[in-house]
Amino acid sequence: MNRLEVDFLGVRFPNPVVTASGTFNFGREYAHLYPLRRLGAVTTKGVSPRPIAGAPTPRITETPMGMLNAIGLENKGVDAYVADELPWLKAQGARVIVNVFGDEAADFAHVARKVGPYADLIEVNLSCPNVHGGRLPFAHDPAAAAEVVRRVKGATDRPVLAKLSPNGPILPVAEALEAAGVDGFSLINTLLGMRMDLERKRPVLGNRQGGLSGPAVKPVAVRLVYELYRHTDRPILGMGGIASAEDALEFALAGARLVAVGTATFGDPYAPVKVIEGLERELEARGGRWVDWVGAAHTPD
Amino acid sequence: MNRLEVDFLGVRFPNPVVTASGTFNFGREYAHLYPLRRLGAVTTKGVSPRPIAGAPTPRITETPMGMLNAIGLENKGVDAYVADELPWLKAQGARVIVNVFGDEAADFAHVARKVGPYADLIEVNLSCPNVHGGRLPFAHDPAAAAEVVRRVKGATDRPVLAKLSPNGPILPVAEALEAAGVDGFSLINTLLGMRMDLERKRPVLGNRQGGLSGPAVKPVAVRLVYELYRHTDRPILGMGGIASAEDALEFALAGARLVAVGTATFGDPYAPVKVIEGLERELEARGGRWVDWVGAAHTPD
Amino acid sequence: MPASPELAPPRPRWDDHAATIVASEPLGPHQRLVLAMPTLEARFGPGQFLNLSVPGHVLRRPLAPSRHEGTEVELIVTPFGPGTRDLVRLPVGTRLQALAPLGNSFPISSGDAALVGAGAGAAPLAWLAERLLRAGRTVHVFHGAPSAEDRTLVQTLYERLGLEVRYFSEDGSLGRRGYPTEGLAELLAGGAVATVYSVGPFALMRAAAQLAIAHGRPGYVSLDVHMACGVGACLSCAVQTAAGQKHACVDGPVFEVQEVVW
Amino acid sequence: MPASPELAPPRPRWDDHAATIVASEPLGPHQRLVLAMPTLEARFGPGQFLNLSVPGHVLRRPLAPSRHEGTEVELIVTPFGPGTRDLVRLPVGTRLQALAPLGNSFPISSGDAALVGAGAGAAPLAWLAERLLRAGRTVHVFHGAPSAEDRTLVQTLYERLGLEVRYFSEDGSLGRRGYPTEGLAELLAGGAVATVYSVGPFALMRAAAQLAIAHGRPGYVSLDVHMACGVGACLSCAVQTAAGQKHACVDGPVFEVQEVVW
Ligand SMILES: Cc1cc2nc3c(=O)[nH]c(=O)nc-3n(C[C@H](O)[C@H](O)[C@H](O)COP(=O)(O)OP(=O)(O)OC[C@H]3O[C@@H](n4cnc5c(N)ncnc54)[C@H](O)[C@@H]3O)c2cc1C
Ligand SMILES: Cc1cc2nc3c(=O)[nH]c(=O)nc-3n(C[C@H](O)[C@H](O)[C@H](O)COP(=O)(O)OP(=O)(O)OC[C@H]3O[C@@H](n4cnc5c(N)ncnc54)[C@H](O)[C@@H]3O)c2cc1C
Ligand SMILES: Cc1cc2nc3c(=O)[nH]c(=O)nc-3n(C[C@H](O)[C@H](O)[C@H](O)COP(=O)(O)O)c2cc1C
Ligand SMILES: Cc1cc2nc3c(=O)[nH]c(=O)nc-3n(C[C@H](O)[C@H](O)[C@H](O)COP(=O)(O)O)c2cc1C
Ligand code: FES
Ligand code: FES
């Protein structure tokens, strides 16, 4: 009995544990440690239409049980990844979730169209700034976010997940995205945060502020997954601080059908595999299959 | 030279370190460890017009470098505190910040009027639910929050701080409060979060969700203080995860003129005093007075 | 209604004391820790607790000693969540901090005593047993566990007192199959005039309390409520009592069974 | 433009290796740590680094060994922020994990070598000096510090090689008052045909690099960029080079001075 198997929007995953976008690049760096097909899926670093150089350094800094990053969306642009990385990644037998973003809705669609052939799912990163919307992230502008999803849906036949930001109310955005035909949700992206350098009397990060991730944000993430699950019937990919099988089960109880491991991979490159192995043991001991745990903490009000 | 002395809205504080509301009760529990007048001030547990029994247990649970609480605003009501606790606290020579809240604007004003004689500052807790505003917290309803501040300002001659919530955008609320005559701000209150109990397959807390505090939230708090400081000329009482003098200096750089120690007191009841002593040492070593550090990380864009 | 006077003796003020781990040994699934607390002049009573730091954790952990001899405080810790799991792994020599002494303690019965415990609940109970024996009382001990796993715990805590323990296991692998309250029920049904003391899971304490009440016997339980400060400042440890809401860390953790709203 | 071949030898693949602290001693403000890494078959080269776990921290810490003999890896750690502060306090016997070997290493010069370092930058430089000496090169060492504080560090790392170090202190309390680049400037001005190697604060490495460039000498620096993954996956360690943006953890940390956009 494979207790971990899960269907998500018609795609069969041998287990629910995927990597989080931006923490695993396109998988090549870790492929000599374990076969990438052992993972539920690899979620790639965010891909935009054209190359982006990213933010000034320092781009990362540690905080209590968390980290801040301001990578600034560095990537080589969709054409480079379609040429070099995505075919290689598919050839590993990995399931692939491609994270896409852009300056405007058409950019997202452009990238989604190009990566579609290599993607099992498309994840739309709505936390990036809406260049034509006063640089407010799409995630905080329901209409702009809906337009992105509509365009992406039109550009690909792959199921589309919208990745939500915890830095504003999520329900109004989620509602607008459902109306736009989104297939599922992923959350949380990072929480905005800052750390000060006492020597330089300046923010540590080159970009001043960055995104907080890691165990510190787990309670915030679990709560948002729980809240979203109550309001949607579309499946949820949950993440934010997952570092163990127990963490993953917390997200399942809250309503996550897939879970992503991000920051934990920096502390231990085997973390995604250890979460999978831990889930096998935990479910053996506690009983039930993964899918039985999904949403199980929801009781009538 | 007293490097720590600071004037805040006309009140002279020997040092900038105060206790955070709800983590120090009315000070009696800790008064045998150190004289309460050694602190910048004691901020009291939130006071409402009538007694409140609070939330079902468990009311607290730990998370990575943080904790969740859902005390449910338990308190004995303003009359009990005016009779028993506030006179005692003033008699200790402590400066006192009284944290007030209620179901509607008039409640806040009622409490502020009664506690005014014992308060050096009034802190208005806007994170409590607005009973007549669909239970949305006042903090997320600029108009309702402004009405609270207007009423409280009318009821007391003490300077009034509005305590902001990190669970929604703060700038629109801050602007409305400035128009309503608020004297200063305090932030952050707790971030909404949740932890799951894998045995019971339920949220750990009796109230299901609670408020996240402690070092885990520090980056979020520093960033919000920084953001608010750029938009206001009113002084800021900063808090969220402060456990050391270095943490306090991070908040100063971001723009906090006073700082509060909350959750850290549970881990070490001497924490507020250790932060004061640490600041004396740090400023001796690094140079400057506390007030020189306030806002020093702000440079032109 | 104030607590009965025997529950509220004038208490020494707590402080934050250094506590060095001087011994740590597994007792089945539990761990016996001995802390050296040389600055703690006050003496714990059975049922009182300390609030112990665990490196890497924001909150302390409330634990009720099973003995306090000279400067040494003995604890039984059951690894439960992240904090206690880390605590039982700390090497001898680790220096911690403990708020102590906290809370109230069990009163010594005027007649026989019946102790109903499970797991680490045996820690304060065994120590109470020691005090009861010293006071010349007859002590009946009923201990429950899912299986034979608590055998070493029971041997370590009770047999050093020369006390015989009636062991109940859910799977029948040691002692009688069933729950320790069955032993208490038989004892009381047999007409024993015993004061009941219980520390364990809520359901166990409630069952023991109901038996005590049904037989008109005094009874005491130690309520296990999630705590943050341990000293009355955070209001996290609310307990519903006949006299209104109380707080386990300062008004308890020991409560008279009649007082608790079960 | 690919890095010059001497900077990019075929590299053994990194893995996550157990690393037990077998020695830990202060050297003034620094700490000398020796890790036993029995499963690490690959050999570090000077300039390469490992990414070391620190209990209670989410990220690992990149550190460049000062020696690798048998299964033992020697590190010099300067307590800086919370992670390195915790690291230097860990007792002997603590078991950590290290990603290793990571990054590229310094090439061995064909002629004389001039080493310009400060603080823990002496770690990879001293090891490089060992390799240079073994290759028969003449090695000049210039070390800078705010005060006399690095005396023991320099003694430990360089004097065991029989190397004389020219010490520069900002306050003049040991060696010459001033910066170690002054020594380098004199050496090069005197016509020495030396390859320049520098590890230390950015300003120091830049000054050393500018001297090398001005004198038409080859030069190498090890860039200290904040790292998360250490293996090329997070893109946090961006470095601007003449050949576009590179990443210090995989394309460096050692860069040719001409290649870096200073
Ligand atoms: C007065 C008293 C005496 C106790 N004596 C013992 C003892 O001698 N041996 C023993 O093994 N256990 C004892 N407990 C229970 C012990 O405190 C908890 O098992 C422990 O705090 C759980 O921490 P954790 O990190 O394992 O779990 P977590 O769930 O991660 O704990 C998180 C937080 O919740 C609180 N918490 C969680 N569970 C409990 C609980 N059951 N009771 C109180 N607080 C809790 C803790 O304060 C901790 O800060 C006692 C509890 C109380 C109230
Ligand atoms: C290739 C390389 C080799 C190094 N070798 C040594 C050495 O041999 N001895 C030594 O003492 N130091 C060395 N450093 C610097 C050392 O890594 C940092 O001092 C250390 O990471 C700071 O961690 P912290 O916890 O003290 O500070 P924090 O600021 O709390 O660190 C937080 C995070 O930021 C990153 N970070 C912070 N400062 C630096 C920095 N200066 N360089 C890289 N990452 C940083 C760390 O990865 C860490 O995860 C080296 C750095 C690099 C890149
Ligand atoms: C270094 C880094 C880079 C990231 N890059 C992206 C990205 O390109 N696109 C995206 O949608 N999320 C990105 N994220 C967010 C993560 O995918 C994830 O949502 C977040 O880190 C929370 O999960 P965690 O706590 O497990 O890391 C990045 C996170 C980190 C730490
Ligand atoms: C147990 C507990 C109770 C609290 N009660 C109140 C309260 O009554 N009123 C209020 O404004 N804030 C309350 N807070 C929030 C704190 O005052 C503070 O804003 C928050 O905890 C962040 O600071 P910290 O990380 O230092 O604890 C409470 C926090 C905790 C942990
Ligand atoms: S634990 Fe804080 S009041 Fe009881
Ligand atoms: S540290 Fe992650 S790419 Fe270099």
**Looking at chain B, which residue has its C-alpha nearest residue C80?**
B199
Q: Which ligand is nearest to the CA of B70?
A: 4
A131 falls in which pLDDT band (50, 70, 90)? Answer: confident
Measured CA to CA, the distance from residue A242 to residue A254 in angstroms comes to 13
For A184, half-sphere exposure in the C-beta direction (CA atoms, 13 angstrom radius) is: 25
Check whether residue C138 and residue C186 sit in a common domain: yes
State the CATH number of the domain containing residue B212: 3.20.20.70
Residue C9 has pLDDT above 60, yes or no: no
pLDDT score at D2: 38
Structural domain for A69, as ranges: 6-298
Could you tell me how many residues make up chain C? 262
Residue A219 is assigned to a structural domain of this protein: yes
Q: Where are the beta strands (DSSP E) in chain B?
A: 6-8, 11-13, 17-19, 42-43, 60-63, 66-69, 96-100, 121-125, 160-163, 184-187, 191-193, 196-197, 202-203, 210-213, 236-239, 258-261
Chain D residues inside the 8 Å CB shell of A62 = 57-59, 81-83
Residue C233 is assigned to a structural domain of this protein: no
Residue B154 CB coordination number (10 Å): 11
Instruction: Give the sign of the dihedral formed by CA C125, CA C129, CA C130, CA C135.
Output: positive
pLDDT score at B301: 58
Find the helix or strand (DSSP H, E) in which D112 lies: strand D112-118
Chain segment C231-259, per-residue pLDDT in tens:
999 999 999 999 999 999 999 999 999 99
CA distances A232 to A17, A51, A174, A175, D78, Å, are 22, 35, 8, 8, 51
To test the ligand 3 pocket, which listed residue (A52, A76, A123, A190) has its Cβ within 8 A of the most ligand atoms? A190
φ/ψ (deg, to 5) at B66? -160, 180
CA distances B55 to A78, A181, B205, C239, Å, are 52, 39, 9, 11
pLDDT score at D1: 36
Residue A234 has pLDDT above 90, yes or no: yes
Check whether residue C92 and residue C149 sit in a common domain: no
Measured CA to CA, the distance from residue B262 to residue B23 in angstroms comes to 5
Residue C201 is assigned to a structural domain of this protein: yes
Contact predicate B193/B204, CB 8 Å: no
Flag if D236 and A25 touch (Cβ within 8 Å). Answer: no
Of residues B21 and C2, more confidence is placed in B21
Measured CA to CA, the distance from residue A148 to residue A109 in angstroms comes to 8
Residue B40 has pLDDT above 90, yes or no: yes
Chain segment B166-186, per-residue pLDDT in tens:
999 999 999 999 999 999 999
Residue C60 is assigned to a structural domain of this protein: yes
Residue B190 has pLDDT above 70, yes or no: yes
Residue ranges around ligand 5 (CB below 6 Å) = C 227-230, 232-237, 247, 249
SS3 B111: helix
Find the helix or strand (DSSP H, E) in which C32 lies: strand C30-36
Beta-carbon contacts of B283 under 8 Å, excluding residues fewer than 6 positions away, are: B3, B4, B289, B290, B293
Chain segment A40-64, per-residue pLDDT in tens:
999 999 999 999 999 999 999 999 9
Structural domain for D180, as ranges: 112-222
Q: Where are the beta strands (DSSP E) in C178-256?
A: 194-199, 219-222, 238-241, 244-247, 254-256
For residue C219, the distance in angstroms to the closest alpha carbon of chain B comes to 23
Residue A113 has pLDDT above 60, yes or no: yes
Burial-class residue A199 by CB neighbours within 10 Å (0-12, 13-18, 19+). exposed
CA A22 to ligand 3 center in whole angstroms: 5
Residue among C189, C184, C190 nearest C257 (CA): C184
B209–C contact, CB cutoff 8 A: no
Residue among D82, A59, A217 nearest B247 (CA): D82
Nearest 10 degrees: Cα torsion B98, B104, B106, B111: -20
φ/ψ (deg, to 5) at A186? -130, 145
Chain A residues inside the 8 Å CB shell of B254 = 194, 196
Measured CA to CA, the distance from residue A121 to residue D183 in angstroms comes to 60
Ligand 5 atom at minimum distance from B25 CA: 3
Chain segment C178-192, per-residue pLDDT in tens:
999 999 999 999 999
Check whether residue D185 and residue D135 sit in a common domain: yes
Flag if B194 and A65 touch (Cβ within 8 Å). Answer: no
pLDDT score at D8: 45
Pure H helices in B156-258: 171-179, 218-231, 245-254
Check whether residue D136 and residue D83 sit in a common domain: no
Measured CA to CA, the distance from residue D221 to residue D106 in angstroms comes to 8
Residue B154 is assigned to a structural domain of this protein: yes
**Which of A128, A176, A177, A188 is flagged as catalytic?**
A128
pLDDT score at B129: 81
Measured CA to CA, the distance from residue B263 to residue C229 in angstroms comes to 9
Residue C7 has pLDDT above 70, yes or no: no
Chain segment A219-230, per-residue pLDDT in tens:
999 999 999 999
- Cis peptide preceding D10, ω within 30 of 0: no
- Cis peptide preceding C12, ω within 30 of 0: no
Q: Which ligand is nearest to the CA of C245?
A: 5
Measured CA to CA, the distance from residue B266 to residue B23 in angstroms comes to 8
Flag if C228 and B58 touch (Cβ within 8 Å). Answer: no
Question: C72, C102, C132: which is the final residue of a domain?
Answer: C102
Task: Please identify every stretch of chain D with a pLDDT value under 70, giving residue numbers as ranges.
Answer: 1-12
Check whether residue D116 and residue D189 sit in a common domain: yes
Chain segment A272-284, per-residue pLDDT in tens:
999 999 999 999 9
Residue B163 is assigned to a structural domain of this protein: yes
Q: Mean pLDDT, to the nearest integer, of B251-270? A: 98
A136 falls in which pLDDT band (50, 70, 90)? Answer: confident
- Is the reported ipTM for this assembly greater than 0.90? yes
Residue A1 is assigned to a structural domain of this protein: no
Residues 88-127 of B with CB under 8 A from A: none
Residue D152 is assigned to a structural domain of this protein: yes
Residue B53 has pLDDT above 70, yes or no: yes
Could you tell me how many residues make up chain B? 301
CA B67 to ligand 1 center in whole angstroms: 14
pLDDT score at D9: 47
* Domains identified in chain D, total number: 2
Question: D102, D124, D141: which is the final residue of a domain?
Answer: D102
State the CATH number of the domain containing residue D35: 2.40.30.10
Q: How far is CA A263 from the centre of its chain?
A: 11
For residue C57, the distance in angstroms to the closest alpha carbon of chain D comes to 9
Residue B232 is assigned to a structural domain of this protein: yes
Q: Which ligand is nearest to the CA of C75?
A: 1
Which residue of B29, B61, B214 is in closest CB contact with C233?
B29
Strand partners, B202: B197
Neighbouring chains of C at 3+ CB pairs within 8 Å? Answer: B, D
Residue A216 is assigned to a structural domain of this protein: yes
Check whether residue C147 and residue C60 sit in a common domain: no
Measured CA to CA, the distance from residue C62 to residue C49 in angstroms comes to 6
Helices (H) and strands (E) in chain B, counts: 10, 16
Residue among B36, B15, B7 nearest B283 (CA): B15
pLDDT score at D26: 97
Q: Mean pLDDT, to the nearest integer, of A241-248? A: 98
pLDDT score at A134: 73
pLDDT score at C111: 94
**Which of B55, B128, B176, B259 is flagged as catalytic?**
B128
Residue D1 is assigned to a structural domain of this protein: no
Q: What angle do CA B80, B192, B43 make, to 5 degrees?
A: 35
Measured CA to CA, the distance from residue C202 to residue C208 in angstroms comes to 10
Q: What angle do CA C4, B86, C234 make, to 5 degrees?
A: 60
Measured CA to CA, the distance from residue B114 to residue A98 in angstroms comes to 59
* Domains identified in chain B, total number: 1
Mean pLDDT over each residue of chain C, to the nearest integer: 94
pLDDT score at C11: 60
Nearest 10 degrees: Cα torsion D233, D238, D240, D244: 20
- Cis peptide preceding D253, ω within 30 of 0: yes
pLDDT score at C165: 96
Q: What angle do CA D29, D31, D34 make, to 5 degrees?
A: 170
- Contacts of C164-171 spanning 24+ positions with Cβ under 8 A: C165/C141, C166/C140, C166/C141, C166/C142, C167/C143, C168/C142, C168/C143, C168/C144, C169/C144, C169/C145, C170/C144, C170/C145, C170/C146, C171/C146, C171/C147
Mean pLDDT over each residue of chain B, to the nearest integer: 96
Q: Mean pLDDT, to the nearest integer, of A158-184? A: 96
B240 falls in which pLDDT band (50, 70, 90)? Answer: very high
State the CATH number of the domain containing residue C138: 3.40.50.80
Residue A186, phi-psi category: left (phi > 0), alpha (psi -120 to 50), beta (remainder): beta
Check whether residue D65 and residue D127 sit in a common domain: no
Which residue of A193, A201, A215 is in closest CB contact with B220?
A193
Residue among B115, B95, B118 nearest B6 (CA): B95
Question: What is the C-alpha R_g of chain B?
Answer: 18
Contact predicate A64/B215, CB 8 Å: yes
Residue B1 is assigned to a structural domain of this protein: no
Residues 167-196 of A with CB under 8 A from B: 168-169, 191-196
Ligand 4 atom at minimum distance from B69 CA: 1
Burial-class residue C252 by CB neighbours within 10 Å (0-12, 13-18, 19+). buried
pLDDT score at B15: 98
- The share of chain C scoring above pLDDT 90, in percent, equals 95
pLDDT score at A299: 82
Residue C2 has pLDDT above 90, yes or no: no
B84–C contact, CB cutoff 8 A: no
Mean pLDDT over each residue of chain A, to the nearest integer: 96
Q: What angle do CA D170, D32, C93 make, to 5 degrees?
A: 125
Residue C30 is assigned to a structural domain of this protein: yes
pTM: 0.96
Q: Look up B262 and say whether it is catalytic.
A: no
B81 falls in which pLDDT band (50, 70, 90)? Answer: very high
Measured CA to CA, the distance from residue B48 to residue B66 in angstroms comes to 27
